[in-house]
Amino acid sequence: MSTDSSGRSPAVPSRRRFVTGLVAGGLAAGAGLWRVPALAATGKPSSHQTLSGTDFDLSIGSSMVNFTGRSRPAITVNGTLPAPLLRWREGDTVTVRVANRLRNAHSSIHWHGILLPANMDGVPGLSFDGIAPGETYTYRFQLQQSGTYWYHSHSMFQEQAGLYGPIIVEPRSPAPYHYDREHVVLLSDWTDMDPNALFRRMKKNASHDNYYQRTVGDFVRDVREDGLSATLQDRRMWGQMRMTPSDISDINGHTYTFLMNGTAPSGNWTGLFKPGEKVLLRFINGSAMTYFDVRIPGLKMTVVAADGQYIHPVSVDEFRIAVAETFDVLVEPAGADAFAIFAQDMGRTGYARGTLAIREGLQPPVPPLDPRPLLTMDDMGHGGMDHGTMDHSSMGHGTASPADGGHAGMDHFGHDMSAIAGMADSADGMQQHPASETGNPLVDMQAMSLAPKLDDPGMGLRNNGRKVLTYGAMKSLFDDPDGREPGREVELHLTGHMEKFAWSFDGLKFADVEPLRLNYGERLRIVLVNDTMMGHPIHLHGMWSDLEDENGSFHLRKHTVDIPPGTKRSYRVRADALGRWAFHCHLLYHMEAGMMREVRVEE
On the question of pLDDT at 61 being above 50, the answer is yes
Q: Is residue 577 part of a domain?
A: yes
Whole-angstrom CA distances from 576 to 114, 115, 116, 519, 522 are: 14, 10, 11, 9, 8
Q: Is residue 448 part of a domain?
A: yes
Contact 70/30 with Cβ under 8 angstroms?
no
Looking at per-residue pLDDT, the higher value among 393 and 367 belongs to 367
pLDDT in tens, 204-244: 887 787 756 545 455 456 557 777 776 566 556 545 555 56
pLDDT at site 23:
37
**Model confidence, pTM:** 0.84
Looking at per-residue pLDDT, the higher value among 421 and 446 belongs to 446
Half-sphere exposure of 509 (CA within 13 A, CB side): 13
The continuous run of DSSP H or E covering 226 comes out as helix 216-226
pLDDT at site 445:
86
What is the count of structural domains for the chain? 2
In the predicted model, what is the mean pLDDT of residues 339-356?
A: 97
* CA nearest to 262, candidates 48, 40, 17: 48
Q: Is residue 145 part of a domain?
A: yes
In the predicted model, what is the mean pLDDT of residues 445-456?
A: 91
On the question of pLDDT at 260 being above 70, the answer is yes
pLDDT at site 287:
98
The answer to which of 264-273, 282-291, 402-411, 569-578 has the lowest mean pLDDT is 402-411
pLDDT at site 26:
54
CATH of the domain at 413: 2.60.40.420
Question: Residue 192 — left, alpha, or beta (φ > 0 → left; ψ -120 to 50 → alpha)?
Answer: alpha
The 3-state DSSP class for residue 42 equals coil
The answer to which of 180-189, 262-271, 276-285, 378-387 has the lowest mean pLDDT is 378-387
Per this entry, what is the length of the chain? Answer: 603
Q: Is residue 241 part of a domain?
A: no
pLDDT at site 558:
98
pLDDT at site 233:
64
Confidence of residue 13 (pLDDT cuts 50, 70, 90): very low
Pairing of strands 93-100, 55-66: parallel
In the predicted model, what is the mean pLDDT of residues 251-269?
A: 95
Residues 76-110 as b or e (16 or more Cβ within 10 Å = b): bbbebbbbbbbbbbeeeebebebbbebeebbbbbb
Half-sphere exposure of 591 (CA within 13 A, CB side): 23
Q: Is residue 275 part of a domain?
A: no
Listing from the earlier edge strand, what are the strands of the sheet with 181-190? 257-260, 181-190, 279-285, 326-331, 301-306, 309-316
From 178, 196, 214, give the residue that closes a domain: 178
The answer to which of 17-26, 86-95, 243-252, 568-577 has the lowest mean pLDDT is 17-26
* CA 215 to mean position of chain CA atoms: 30
pLDDT at site 416:
36
In the predicted model, what is the mean pLDDT of residues 42-59?
A: 76
pLDDT at site 240:
52
Sequence-ordered alpha helix ranges (H) in 312-366: none
pLDDT in tens, 472-528: 999 999 999 999 999 999 999 999 998 899 999 999 988 889 999 999 999 999 999
Which structural domain range is residue 164 located in? Answer: 18-178
Q: Is residue 571 part of a domain?
A: yes
From 178, 213, 234, give the residue that closes a domain: 178
Q: Is residue 513 part of a domain?
A: yes
Contact 65/29 with Cβ under 8 angstroms?
no
pLDDT at site 211:
58
Q: Is residue 508 part of a domain?
A: yes
The 3-state DSSP class for residue 437 equals helix
Confidence of residue 374 (pLDDT cuts 50, 70, 90): confident
pLDDT at site 398:
27
Whole-angstrom CA distances from 375 to 243, 383, 453 are: 10, 12, 15
Q: Is 419 exposed, middle or buried (0-12, 13-18, 19+ CB in 10 A)?
A: middle
pLDDT at site 2:
33
Give the whole-angstrom CA distance, residue 70 versus residue 91. 45
pLDDT in tens, 550-560: 999 999 999 99
From 178, 198, 213, give the residue that closes a domain: 178
Average pLDDT of the residues of the chain = 84
Give the whole-angstrom CA distance, residue 532 versus residue 506. 11
Pairing of strands 554-558, 523-530: unpaired
On the question of pLDDT at 421 being above 70, the answer is no
Name every residue whose Cβ is closer than 8 Å to that of residue 200 and which is 6 or more positions away in sequence: none
The answer to which of 3-17, 223-237, 459-473, 571-585 has the lowest mean pLDDT is 3-17
